[in-house]
Amino acid sequence: MSPVRTYSIVVEPEPDGGYFVTVPALPGCSTRGKTIEECQARAVEAIETHIAGLEADGEPVPEERGTPQLISVTVAA
């Protein structure tokens, strides 16, 4: 039986609607969805597929170390 893992996802609104999802602890793991709920479901699928690929390639599966933080900074541009 596979271990149970928990990963944070980042859900960003897209200009034309919907959302783009990334998984900071799993570089290259991303998906899209029309709603937040759809993003969550698709993120589970994307993470499972990403982990299966890592395991098939004999690569270690990263664990999330702490919770990512969203911090705003202001710049003059």
Summarize pLDDT for 53-73 with one digit per residue, the tens: 999 999 999 999 988 898 999
Q: Which residues pair with 20 in a beta bridge?
A: 12, 32
**Nearest by Cα to 61 from 22, 6, 1:** 6
Residue 2 has pLDDT above 80, yes or no: no
Provide the residue type at 27 as one letter: P
Condensed to tens digits (0 to 9), the pLDDT of residues 11-31 reads 999 999 999 999 999 999 999
Q: How much is the pLDDT for 19?
A: 98
pTM of this structure: 0.88
Q: How much is the pLDDT for 59?
A: 97
Architecture in CATH for domain 1-77: 2-Layer Sandwich (3.30)
